[in-house]
Amino acid sequence: MEKLTQRSKQVVNKEMTFSERIYLPAIFKGLAITLSHLFKKKVSLNYPEVKRDYSAVYRGQHVLKRDDEGRERCTACGLCAVACPAEAITMEAAERSKEDLMNYREEKYAATYEINMLRCIFCGLCEEACPKQAIFLTDRIVQPEDNRGSFIYGKDILVETRDSRVDITKRQVWTLNEEAKS
């Protein structure tokens, strides 16, 4: 019969030799492979003490951006939630009052905005769907937690503060530049 692959092996039901029965050659062969790895370059790091460099376009924890005047860019349009394949984003919209003029750029804003980091697959579609350049993925790592509830990130975690902006210039910088021109 024609072989299906070149890797197929004919099984032979022959008696095992003495050395095969005591496994010693196989054990020494395994130890030699283990020893050879001691002298090879390590591929692992002592995380979290040592962290590797991430790509500039690494897709990690999201940030909700503010504009140059410190107002939240998000207008709670919901497009990111619709685009999200993991249904990880939820929000509630509210209308901006006169007192809120300094806080929100548009007449409508997100009173609540939540991302379930356990659902998120970091695909970046929310970022692409956003017409306001309000949401970006960053090179920050989502921190481990010991309970599921802590992985629901609200605005307190997602929105950047006025004093410490999250640098996303290496990600989709052209979108911000285009907007600045318009």
CA dihedral 142, 146, 149, 151 (to 10 degrees): 10
Residue with Cβ nearer ligand SF4 (53 or 114): 114
Stretch of residues binding ligand SF4 (CB under 6 A), selected from 8-16, 44-52, 70-78, 160-168? 70-78
Which whole-number Å values give the CA distances from 105 to 24, 49, 68, 84, 85, in the listed order?
74, 40, 10, 24, 27
Nearest CA among 128, 139, 14, 120 for reference residue 80: 128
**Per CB under 6 A, 168 contacts ligand SF4:** no
Q: How far apart are CB 60 and ligand SF4 at their closest, in Å?
A: 10
Query: Binders of ligand SF4: how many residues, by CB under 6 A?
Result: 26
Phi, psi values for residue 166, rounded to 5°:
-95, 125
- Candidates 61, 71, 126, 160: give the one binding ligand SF4 (CB under 6 A): 126
Contact between 157 and ligand SF4 (CB under 6 A)? no
Q: Which residues of the chain form contacts with ligand SF4 (CB under 6 A)?
A: 74-80, 83-84, 86, 88-89, 91, 115, 120-126, 129-130, 132, 134-135
